Amino acid sequence: MIAPSHYKLALCRPDAPNVFDAQGRVRDGVLDHNVGLYCDLIEQAADRFGAKLIVFPQFGLTGYTALDSPAWEGASLAFPGPELERIGKAARRAGAYVVLSASEKHAAFPNRYFISAGILTPLGELGLTYRKNYSISMRLSPIDVYSRFVEVFGHDAFTPVLPTPLGTLGVVIGAEPHYPEITRALALKGAEVILNPIAAPVIDYMMRPGADHVRAVRAFENVAYFAAVNGVQSDIPSKAWDFEGRAIAAPSDDPRFTLVSVDIEALRKTRSSPAANLLAQIQPQIAEYPHKLPLWPTDAFAQAAPGSVDALLAVEEQVWKGLQDIGRGKAPGN
């Protein structure tokens, strides 16, 4: 099989009902309905637009409601599991790769949940699972249970990539592009197309203007395609950038679909052009090894979830204080 150089990527915004009722309980049958909606949209993206890669937003299957962990555990999926199996069958019928994000339950981490993303292949199989690393939130971060995470999944699972005929794919979730290390790690593993399911009512909850630029910068500095798909609860559109940081997303005649033309051969030619491949010019020898610094600790919440966001902010404060103590930062007024 000759791999396609050019193909269509579809960013899909499903108008799926929220699985939670007003009291935070999971409504019977809604998740099943939303899985069926995903299956229909996958086939539409392939049949109407010829999409070979279809990406859904963060919380697209469930909707988002600010609830405590037990409620989210009730709406969490297994990766793999019956819901992904149904969606995988739609991917197989469509002959497309499908990226989706949902809260994930796993037997090795009882009473906890990850925010995860999966890539389903045209064979209907789960080709990759990525679990969100960065954010200040109550969901389980791999770093919180670092030792057990490595024991269960292996270290490579922190930043997995999936080689495919469409290029090597990687995933980041939500605001993770604000942290350049994740995207760079994927690129150095060979990622050529970075997919970013988000659920952003505003571009940045702290309203920092720089947040509007980070995804284009991640594309440029890693010489990679970068595509972010947002949910319907937001006025912020889905967007995409090519390997030079150029905005390339185009609306379709259906507001649920934003289309992106991907040219993997052009990306590979650029990466092979003199002076154009920023990845090949990285000089790690001149940088300080960050593991030696008192940064975010491993296994900080290995035994139990943080009781509140304040517990996470306390860790952040502790880390910043530790950096100040060794002369790597200053408090206000100093």
pLDDT tens digit string along 194-211? 999 999 888 888 889 999
Q: Are residues 239 and 301 in the same domain?
A: no
Give the pLDDT score at 1: 46
Q: Which residue has the tokens 């609830």?
A: 67
Q: List residues bridging with 196 in a β-sheet.
A: 228
Whichever domain contains 171, its CATH number is: 3.60.110.10
**Number of domains, the chain:** 2
Residues of the domain holding 197: 6-279
Q: How confident is the model at residue 105 (pLDDT cuts 50, 70, 90)?
A: very high
CA distances, 279 to each of 144, 162, 178, 183, 215 (Å)? 30, 19, 19, 12, 17
Kindly state whether residue 274 falls inside one of the protein's structural domains: yes
Q: 307 and 207 in one domain?
A: no
Closest C-alpha to 185, from 267, 260, 130, 135: 130
| Residue 1 domain flag | no
Residues 44 and 178 in one domain: yes
CA separation for the pair 9, 94 (Å, rounded)? 13
pLDDT digits (tens, 9 = 90+) for 9-26: 999 999 999 998 888 888
Res 67: pLDDT = 61
The reply to whether 155 falls in a domain is: yes
In angstroms, rounded to a whole number, what is the distance separating the alpha carbons of residues 326 and 320? Answer: 10
Q: Check residue 142 and report its DSSP letter.
A: G
pLDDT at 63 over 90: no
DSSP state of 307: S
- For the segment 222-264, what is each residue's pLDDT rounded down to a tens digit? 999 999 999 877 788 999 999 999 999 999 999 999 999 999 9
Cα angle, residue 45 at apex, residues 127 and 92 outer, rounded to 5°: 40
Per-residue pLDDT at 73: 79
Residues 297 and 214 in one domain: no
The predicted model scores a pTM of 0.96
Mean pLDDT for the chain overall: 94
d(CA 240, CA 257): 13
Are 77 and 201 part of one and the same domain?
A: yes
What angle (nearest 5°) sits at the alpha carbon of residue 239, between those of residues 202 and 191? 115
200 lies in some domain = yes
Q: Is residue 87 part of a domain?
A: yes
Asked whether residue 227 falls in the same domain as residue 265, the answer is: yes
Tell me, yes or no, whether 181 and 241 share the same domain.
Answer: yes
Q: Examine the domain organization and report whether 33 and 121 are in the same domain.
A: yes
| In-domain check, residue 95 | yes
| Together in a domain, 322 and 272 | no
Whether residue 116 is found in the same domain as residue 142: yes
The answer on 209 and 236 residing in a single domain is yes
Average pLDDT of 156-163?
Answer: 99
